[in-house]
Structure 1
């Protein structure tokens, strides 16, 4: 019976290959294919960014309407409070408060004195409440106006960004259409584009974000790195030096998350490369770290280049991943009384200079 096993295995391989054929758009690409697939992928991603901006624009326009309604309501409140406050102030100038004070001084008995005093204090307290309410509502009016100005400025920037992205998509689509028109095999290119778009929408984007989410989760646990590699932190005059070696960082990532066993960091001169592959997905990220001080001192990762299966993704995707996933780390979580002043990347190592900060 064993003699039938090889033929059975071959049959299973044939069936599996027919059910899951290699993608039409798989590497290596010709120069023409590379260009048209990158442009098509950029169109898809910029369209997604346009949808995100449009959604934010709708939210912002709703916020503007709500703030405008609040502003109108506060204007009415402040008009009423202004009238009451004006009446209180006029009373001072017309002598009503002085007359009450005179009545207080001319009271015929101690009982009358305390009666007038209670009445006088009641009036003063009412004046304080009215004037305080006017002051509070005026401050609220000013704050709402400022909020409205900020949100309106955001909306103007969004509209400008939306216009820019729409122009980019139009230009890219024209280039794709032109390339298809000049191609010796436009049907093959169309099939490659369609298959790539389907894979990107259903698998690629999800997997890309899953890797970035895993990296972000592990980087949030970076203080654990020092527990494993205590010699990474060395005392220097006025502070410390943190040296991260790429093989130690990769080992740390692989132990922390099973998914990241497919990923490896490489430290080059002034550059970091993160790459890995699994099944039909191949990912490569090129970036660098900078020291940031706002909103807090941090070593922040910036994505300079992002490749999915050899195809470069646009700046909108890089910006989205930087915005959604934090791949940096925070010195004060490592040593509470230090802050980063400098970060250097060399062959195989990343060095962070830390100064004492009390």
Structure 2
């Protein structure tokens, strides 16, 4: 009897442990899936925010270019109208000359010369006739030049009209893409509300990202125009036997030299690590708003190109499409300051807190 009771108790304990573990696994799985789903939705929303910002920027740039072209076109049309007035005046003068030539022409000039009373009178008449001929020759030459100039102006206007049409077409495409991106975001927000219990965090992150994007865009746009010529190595070790050198730049000193003179970039800073360089900006709370990790690539003529490989915002790692949208149309290269002893850069590397240029004299 005791054995039976003991066997029943063991069976109950075993079944309880099995069901409890199964319930734990089942209940834990949705929690993991929920976090993963939320992370995916946040990434998708931030990607769409970046796309929308990039398209809006592109439309603004196209609109500005279009406006500038239309101003240039209006100025050229005024110039063309002025040319038309000049040509009409020249044609009138030439018409009088043609009528005169047809009626008398050189015969009239000869009659004037023959009617001279003496040599002095003859030379005076000859000089007057020469001036008249020269005057109309100049009119003919000026008219010919004006016609050529007018044709060039008309060609210029036609080219600018084509450019304006191309810009307007590009702007229409960008606007359509913007509308599609906005519609995608609306659908993504609807999906988020259906899946997530609380979307406040998602909306807050999206809002903060939208506020950070103009600052990030400004940094990327002005990266190549920063005062790179003002930086100098914090340490320079020269080997005169091999004619090589190692120049070290500290991230704090580069940050101070490049960003201190620009009020819009006063909160931006560099950090160097074995992975590459990271561009960041501090928010009002002192924490980084965003960070862009980049690798460096040496190009011709000692030029260095910055290639973004990762964008992070609020702990969210953004997909490669975001990097493409943010950097499109921006020059992310720079030329270091003139190097001493006519040295050339042979390679680049980064360490914790340091950017290192390896130099050699050729």
TM-score normalised by L of structure 2:
0.62
Q: Using a 3 Å threshold, how does the CA distance of structure 1 residues 60 and 260 change in structure 2: closer, same or farther?
A: closer
**1:318 maps to which of 326, 332, 346:** 326
Structure 1 residue 145 displacement after superposition:
1.9
Q: Using a 3 Å threshold, how does the CA distance of structure 1 residues 31 and 335 change in structure 2: closer, same or farther?
A: same
Q: Does the CA-based 8 Å contact 1:70-1:144 persist in structure 2?
A: no
State the match for 1:225 in structure 2. Answer: 232
For the aligned residues, what is the CA RMSD? 5.0
State the match for 1:164 in structure 2. Answer: 177
Structure 1 residue 285 displacement after superposition:
1.0
**1:99 maps to which of 96, 102, 106:** 106
State the match for 2:203 in structure 1. Answer: 194
SS at match of 1:285: strand
State the match for 1:126 in structure 2. Answer: 139
Q: Does the CA-based 8 Å contact 1:225-1:252 persist in structure 2?
A: no
Q: Using a 3 Å threshold, how does the CA distance of structure 1 residues 51 and 214 change in structure 2: closer, same or farther?
A: closer
State the match for 1:4 in structure 2. Answer: none
State the match for 1:22 in structure 2. Answer: none
Show the 5 A alignment for 1:1-358.
Answer: 30-59=35-64, 62=67, 84=90, 88=94, 99=106, 103=110, 108=116, 109-183=122-196, 185=197, 188=198, 190-202=199-211, 204-205=212-213, 208=216, 219-226=226-233, 228-231=234-237, 244-245=247-248, 248-256=249-257, 263-268=270-275, 271-274=276-279, 279-290=286-297, 298-312=303-317, 314-315=322-323, 318-319=326-327, 323=330, 328-331=333-336, 333-334=337-338, 344-345=348-349, 351=357
CA distance in 1, matches of 2:72, 2:218: 37
**306-315 or 57-66: bigger deviation:** 57-66
SS at match of 1:225: coil
CA distance in 1, matches of 2:302, 2:335: 7
* Cα offsets for 1:204-228 (capped at 9, x unmatched): 34664687699767x51444314x4
Which structure has the larger Rg?
2
* Cα offsets for 1:34-79 (capped at 9, x unmatched): 2222322333333333433443454455556656656766666666
Structure 1 residue 301 displacement after superposition:
2.4
Q: Does the CA-based 8 Å contact 1:339-1:354 persist in structure 2?
A: yes
SS at match of 2:334: coil
TM-score normalised by L of structure 1:
0.63
Structure 2: state its 5+ residue gaps: 1-33, 117-121, 261-265
* Cα offsets for 1:299-338 (capped at 9, x unmatched): 3324343222223452466227x73xx664325x515998
Q: Does the CA-based 8 Å contact 2:347-2:358 persist in structure 1?
A: yes
